[in-house]
Amino acid sequence: MATLTFKGGVHPYDGKELSKDKAIVPYEPKGNLIYPVSQHIGAPAAPVVAKGDRVLVGQKIAEAGGFVSSPVYASVSGTVKAIEPHFVSTGAKVNSIVVENDGLYEEAPGLPIKPFEEMSRDDIIGIIKESGVVGMGGAGFPTHVKLSPKDPDKIDYVLVNCAECEPYLTSDYRLMVERPEKVVGGLKVVLELFGSAQGCICIEDNKPEAIKIMQKACENETRIQVKVLKTKYPQGAERMLIHAVTGRDLNSTMLPADLGCVVDNCDTITSIYDAVILGKPLISRVVTISGEAVANPSNFECRMGTNVAELIEAAGGFKTEAKKVISGGPMMGFAMFDLEVPTTKTTSAITCLAADAVSESPTTACINCGRCVAACDEGLIPARLAQFSEKFDLEAFQKWHGMECVECGCCSYVCPAKRPLAQMIKNVRRMVMANRKK
Amino acid sequence: MSDLRKVSSSPHIRDKATSSNIMRDVVIALLPAAIFGVFHFGVNALVVLLVTIATSVATEYIYEKYMHKPVTIGDYSAVVTGLLLGMNLPSSAPWWMAMLGSIFAVLVVKQLFGGLGQNFMNPALGGRCFLMISFAGRMTNYAYDTFTGATPLAVIREGGSIDMFQMVMGNTAGMIGETSAIAILVGAAYLLWRGVIDLKIPGTYIVTFAVFMLLFGGHGFDGTYLVAQLAGGGLMLGAWFMATDYVTSPITPKGQIVYGVILGLLTGIFRCFGPSPEGVSYAIIFSNLLVPLIERFTIPLAFGKVKEKGGN
């Protein structure tokens, strides 16, 4: 079978050998757990507990604030200590529920599920909505919204995004190797919603082990196949994934459903399985703690709300000074100014870099070499867009299709003059979006 | 919160390539042709090359020091300009002329317009054309050793015949770095292999020029004439090393093809119908001026966008 791919992209050092062979280990949090009410795209969730209340594992502590929103569940048993604003990994301050862990892990009753065969479409989507599952690849878009397109019969592809093209991340890889039945099971739940769709588990070809295991796991599934993708960043970007597998091209004015596609991340799919089949709300996820600065790179089954500094300690702490600690991977993750932040539904990794390439490479003049053009998977001219950004020329920026940027960072990565192209483009995109809202 | 950690916008990693590495690759790629020139034309050629390189770097250094700007001579771009200009001069050029050309190239064409990345015209070619206009006689004095012949292109123009093998090898009269097509192609192959240049500009340039000469050269499908036109004059050096100059060529992929075609047409027109047998330098600097216009009309369609009627 030919490996599928797209035009553009880059090949950064992937650092996956640091943690790819470390089995998933459950981590029991010691300190307080912090649950921001906004861990997703959409309206913040509304707290349904008060200071002093006792909560149990799997108890709902904040309710969805609308259709495009998602509830939050306690991941430990203990007492609500406060509801107050708290820093999260993106640097923002978000209203959060603080729970003191009593270490008893006393469980609340699960989600009200029926045997799968008896569930209707609405039952399934209702449970996914209730379980708090959101896109766990990073965006945090509520999954039940994604699964409710206008015309479900027009969906002919359900893609499970297991590309994991971000360097250092191995959480999806470990899930595929250790829990393939959950990936297949979760996908079968979603396929139940879309009668005319075929399911594709999409994996980059640098993970032969996972490909083998997943192929074996869906041997007897007529509606599911494994798609092998060429290893290249950003293969896991939604548009690139859809292009590689289906040949359809999505732009910024469309949703995947407009092209007959539903795309869900690997961990999202396993969480759908946990919710619909096992009746477990979303209270934990796999988090990779890796990077050259970490003593013992690990993959943890991490309870939501666990303190990041605590997780790094659990991975042996720093063996050398961490010049930069990133929530997520080095291409699109957020650098954190403080480690006293909680993990959330979208924290796929904590990457601790021993060298900070950004501050160590001084910026020089653009020589118009065109490397950013060759790397741009959206077919843009990042060097020009960055020039328009410096002049705040929003009109030219849009004329040169700047709003199509997916902020993958390839242009900044390849720039020999070390110009922060992606950052300059992001700035103007924010300005244009803000103007549109006016 | 006593010790805040370093933050920055993603991505947090960078490729190893730097602008200096790229410029250094260009210098390496120019060496075969430059070394051939020194062996072919003798020690005078070496003096010219050393003078242009030293003057270019010194001009950049002095200007930047004087203007309190960061000194950028470490990025090799002034070395490239100096070397290219030297290779575009005859070996008989006096030292003061080489110096003057270098100062014009770096000071006027490059620095006064904002330095690296801002010049609207290839500095080396700007310097060459400046000298060409100012000292036409000296610039076309190709005398070397005991030989005082005309360039092969001039010979052909007058209806004479030339030795094809000697011409491709470079054993002819001409500028220091432009006579040996073989040596230039070795350097070009290195740049292609290193990914510094691709075939879009030089490929379309050379093909367009060849087609033009077949149609309008007046020699029909004469293979010898075509090879002479391709290997003669500044075409090879120009197509592989000066038309591909990043700063003064379009960045849009389609624009690069348009640019190559325009270069081929202009060179053909200048060589066939112009007063001089040479046309590459003027074709390139003229096309340099068209670059912003070319880019405006070749904005690529973004991924997933379909062409709208009447728009771009």
Task: Nearest by CB to B251, from A379, A381, A409: name it.
Answer: A381
CB contact under 8 A, B12 and A326: yes
CA distances from A115 to A129, A148, A274, A283 (A): 18, 22, 13, 22
Taking the CA of residue A416 and the nearest CA in chain B, the distance in Å comes to 4
The DSSP result for A167-180, as a single string, is TT--HHHHHHHH-H
Touching B: A residues 157-186, CB under 8 Å = 167
- Return the closest-CA partner of residue B179 out of B189, B188, B169: B169
Residues 202-241 of A with CB under 8 A from B: 239
SS3 state at A285: strand
B6 falls within a domain: no
pTM, 2 dp: 0.91
**What percent of chain A lies above the pLDDT cut of 70?**
100
Where helices occur in chain B by DSSP H, the ranges are 19-41, 43-66, 77-87, 95-103, 123-134, 136-139, 152-157, 164-169, 181-193, 200-216, 223-231, 235-237, 253-273, 280-296
Three-state secondary structure call for residue B59: helix
Which pLDDT score is estimated for A336? 94
List pLDDT tens digits, range A244-270.
999 999 999 899 999 999 999 999 999
Beta carbon pairs, A and B, within 8 Å:
167
Confidence of residue B312 (pLDDT cuts 50, 70, 90): very low
For residue A340, what pLDDT is reported?
93
Higher pLDDT, B223 or B193: B193
For residue A19, pLDDT over 90 is answered with yes
pLDDT bucket at B306, cuts 50 / 70 / 90:
confident
Is B303 a member of any domain?
no
Q: Which of A303, A324, A323 is nearest to A314 (CA)?
A: A303
Residue B83: inside a domain: yes
pLDDT value for A370 = 94
Write out pLDDT tens, residues A395-408. Answer: 999 999 999 999 99
Residue B216 within a domain: yes
Task: Establish if A335 touches chain B: CB-CB under 8 angstroms.
Answer: yes
Question: Of B2, B5, B6, B12, which to mutate for an interface test with A (greatest number of A Cβ within 10 Å)?
Answer: B12
A82 touches B at CB < 8 Å: no
Residue B140: which domain range? 19-296
CB-nearest partner of B305 from A368, A401, A409: A401
Looking at the partner chain, which of B11, B72, B295 has a beta carbon nearest the beta carbon of A332? Answer: B11
Whether the per-residue pLDDT at B307 is higher than 90: the answer is no
State the pairing for strand pair A198-204/A157-162: parallel
At A208 the pLDDT is 94
- Model pLDDT, residue B174: 87
Query: Is B47 a domain residue?
Result: yes
What does the pLDDT read at residue B148? 57
* Nearest CA-CA partner of A170 in A403, A363, A14, A359: A14
A353 at B interface, C-beta within 8 A: yes
The fourth-level CATH superfamily of domain A116-276 is: NADH-ubiquinone oxidoreductase 51kDa subunit (3.40.50.11540)
Q: What is the structure's pLDDT at B310?
A: 45
Q: Where are the domains of chain A?
A: 116-276, 371-437
Instruction: Give the tokens for residue A303.
Output: 């309870």
Given this model, what pLDDT does residue A247 score? 93
B199 belongs to a structural domain: yes
Instruction: Please say if the pLDDT value at position B144 is more than 70.
Output: no
Q: What pLDDT score was predicted for residue B221?
A: 80
CA distances (Å), origin B131, targets A154, A382, B97, B124: 69, 37, 8, 11
Min Cα distance B40 → chain A (Å) is: 33
Of B14, B249, B303, the CB nearest to A239: B303
**Chain segment A25-48, per-residue pLDDT in tens:** 999 998 899 999 999 999 999 999
* A249 contacts: CB under 8 Å, gap ≥ 6: A239, A242, A243, B303, B304
8 Å CB contact between B220 and B213: no
pLDDT at A362 over 70: yes
β-strand partners of A204: A229
Query: Residue A284's beta-bridge partner residues?
Result: A303
pLDDT in tens, A364-388: 999 999 999 999 999 999 999 999 9
Distance separating alpha carbons of residues B37 and B175, to the nearest angstrom: 8
Query: Looking at residue B311, what is its pLDDT?
Result: 42
Question: What pLDDT does A438 receive?
Answer: 76
Number of domains in chain B: 1
Confidence (pLDDT) at B46: 96
Contact B246 A338 (CB under 8 A): no
Q: Are A367 and B246 within 8 A, CB to CB? A: yes
What is the predicted pLDDT for the residue at B278?
A: 81
The C-alpha of A84 sits at a distance from chain B's nearest C-alpha, in angstroms, of 18
Q: In A146-218, which ranges are E strands? A: 157-162, 198-204
Please check whether residue B98 lies inside any domain of the structure.
yes
We report the CATH number of the domain holding residue B174 as 1.10.3430
Share of chain B above pLDDT 90, in %: 72
A427 pLDDT higher than 80: yes
Shortest Cα–Cα distance, B166 to chain A (Å): 35
> How far, in Å, CA of A135 to CA of A346, rounded?
7
DSSP string, B254-312: HHHHHHHHHHHHHHHHHHHHSSSS--HHHHHHHHHHHHHHHHHT-PPPPTT--PPTT--
Cβ contact (<8 Å) for A250 and B304? Answer: yes
Closest to A181 in 3D by CA, of A207, A217, A209, A226: A217
Residues of chain A with Cβ-Cβ distance to B18 below 8 Å are: 361, 416-418
Beta carbons of B10 and A369 less than 8 Å apart: no
Q: What is the pLDDT of residues A177-227, one digit of tens each?
A: 999 999 999 999 999 999 999 999 999 999 999 999 999 999 999 999 999
Instruction: Give how far B176 is from chain A: nearest CA, Å.
Output: 27
CB neighbour burial string for A288-321, b if at least 16 within 10 angstroms, e if fewer: bbbbbbbeebbbbbbbbbbbbbbbbebbeebeee
**Rounded to whole angstroms, what are the CA distances from A134 to A115, A266, A269, A430?**
23, 12, 10, 23
CA distance B16 to B30: 23
CB-closest option in A331, A335, A413 to B8: A335
Q: Give per-residue pLDDT as tens, A184-193.
A: 999 999 999 9
Does the residue B4 lie in any domain? no
What is the nearest CA distance from A60 to chain B, expressed in angstroms? 32
